[in-house]
Chain A
Amino acid sequence: MSKYLILIFQDDAVTQQADGESISAAYQEFMQRRNGSLLSGAALQPASTATSIRRHGSGGFTVTDGPFAESKETLGGYFLIEAADLDEALEIAKEVPAGVGVEVRRVRVVS
Chain B
Amino acid sequence: MPQAASSEVAAAVAEAHRREWAFVLAATLRVTGDIDTAEEAVQDAYASALSTWGPRGIPKNPGAWLTVTARRRALDMHRRAATAQRALPKLLGPGEYLPDAPGRDGEDITDDRLRLIFTCCHPALAPDAQVALTLRLLCGLSTADVARAFLVPEATIAARITRAKKKIAAARIPYRVPAASELRDRLDGVLSVVYLVYTTGHTAPSGENLMRRDLAERGHELARMLRVLLPGDGDVAGLLALVLLTDARSSARLDEHRELVLMENQDRSKWDRSAITEGVALLREALNLRPPSRFALMAAIAAVHDESNSWSDTDWQEILGLYDLLLEKWPSPVVKLNRAIAVGFAVGHAEGLAELDALGAEPQLARYPYLAAARANFLARLGRFDDVRVAFEEALILTENDTERRYLQSRLSELTG
User: Do A and B actually bind?
Assistant: yes
Leading 10 A-B pairs by shortest Cβ distance: A85-B174, A85-B172, A86-B171, A86-B173, A106-B171, A86-B172, A87-B174, A2-B172, A106-B172, A86-B124
Interface on chain A toward B: helix, strand, loop, or mixed SS? mixed
Q: Which residue in chain B gives the minimum CB-CB distance to A91? A: B182
**Chain B positions within 8 Å of A87 at CB level:** 173-174, 176, 178, 182
Ordered by A's residue number, 23 sampled pairs between the chains whose C-beta atoms are within 8 Å are A2-B172, A84-B174, A85-B172, A85-B173, A85-B174, A86-B122, A86-B124, A86-B171, A86-B172, A86-B173, A86-B174, A87-B173, A87-B174, A87-B176, A87-B178, A87-B182, A90-B124, A104-B171, A105-B171, A106-B170, A106-B171, A106-B172, A108-B170
- Give the CA-CA distance A85 to B172 in the complex, in Å: 5
- Give the CA-CA distance A22 to B368 in the complex, in Å: 53
**Chain B positions within 8 Å of A86 at CB level:** 122, 124, 171-174
- Give the CA-CA distance A105 to B172 in the complex, in Å: 10
CB distance from A93 to the nearest CB of B (A): 11
* Contacts of A6-37 to chain B: CB distance below 8 A: none
| B147-184 Cβ-contact flags toward A at 8 Å (1 or 0) | 00000000000000000000000111110101000100
CB distance from A89 to the nearest CB of B (A): 8
From B170, B172, B173, B182, residue with most partner A Cβ within 10 Å? B172
Interface size class of B (residues with CB under 8 A): 10 to 19
CB distance from B126 to the nearest CB of A (A): 15
Q: Which residue in chain A gives the minimum CB-CB distance to B124? A: A86
CB distance from A48 to the nearest CB of B (A): 31
- Give the CA-CA distance A2 to B174 in the complex, in Å: 12
CB distance from A103 to the nearest CB of B (A): 11
* Contacts of B21-54 to chain A: CB distance below 8 A: none
Q: Which residue in chain A gives the minimum CB-CB distance to B172? A: A85
* Contacts of A72-111 to chain B: CB distance below 8 A: 84-87, 90, 104-106, 108
**Chain A positions within 8 Å of B174 at CB level:** 84-87
- Give the CA-CA distance A108 to B124 in the complex, in Å: 18
| B107-127 Cβ-contact flags toward A at 8 Å (1 or 0) | 000000000000000101000
- Give the CA-CA distance A85 to B168 in the complex, in Å: 10
- Give the CA-CA distance A41 to B394 in the complex, in Å: 57
CB distance from B332 to the nearest CB of A (A): 24
- Give the CA-CA distance A108 to B170 in the complex, in Å: 8
**Chain B positions within 8 Å of A84 at CB level:** 174
**Chain A positions within 8 Å of B170 at CB level:** 106, 108
**Chain A positions within 8 Å of B122 at CB level:** 86
- Give the CA-CA distance A86 to B176 in the complex, in Å: 12
Q: Which residue in chain A gives the minimum CB-CB distance to B170? A: A106
Q: Which residue in chain B gives the minimum CB-CB distance to A84? A: B174
- Give the CA-CA distance A2 to B176 in the complex, in Å: 17
**Chain A positions within 8 Å of B182 at CB level:** 87
CB distance from B179 to the nearest CB of A (A): 9
**Chain B positions within 8 Å of A2 at CB level:** 172
From A2, A85, A105, A108, residue with most partner B Cβ within 10 Å? A85
**Chain A positions within 8 Å of B124 at CB level:** 86, 90
**Chain A positions within 8 Å of B176 at CB level:** 87
Q: Told that A86-B171, A104-B171 touch, could you supply 10 new A-B pairs with CB distance under 8 A?
A: A85-B173, A86-B122, A86-B124, A86-B172, A86-B173, A87-B174, A87-B176, A90-B124, A106-B171, A108-B170
From A84, A104, A106, residue with most partner B Cβ within 10 Å? A106
- Give the CA-CA distance A87 to B176 in the complex, in Å: 10
| A40-70 Cβ-contact flags toward B at 8 Å (1 or 0) | 0000000000000000000000000000000
CB distance from A4 to the nearest CB of B (A): 8
Q: Which residue in chain B gives the minimum CB-CB distance to A88? A: B174
- Give the CA-CA distance A84 to B170 in the complex, in Å: 13
Q: Which residue in chain B gives the minimum CB-CB distance to A1? A: B93
- Give the CA-CA distance A17 to B16 in the complex, in Å: 63
- Give the CA-CA distance A105 to B167 in the complex, in Å: 10
**Chain B positions within 8 Å of A85 at CB level:** 172-174
CB distance from B166 to the nearest CB of A (A): 12
**Chain B positions within 8 Å of A104 at CB level:** 171
* Contacts of B180-200 to chain A: CB distance below 8 A: 182
- Give the CA-CA distance A84 to B171 in the complex, in Å: 11
- Give the CA-CA distance A90 to B173 in the complex, in Å: 10
* Contacts of B342-399 to chain A: CB distance below 8 A: none
Q: Which residue in chain A gives the minimum CB-CB distance to B175? A: A85
- Give the CA-CA distance A105 to B178 in the complex, in Å: 20
CB distance from A11 to the nearest CB of B (A): 25
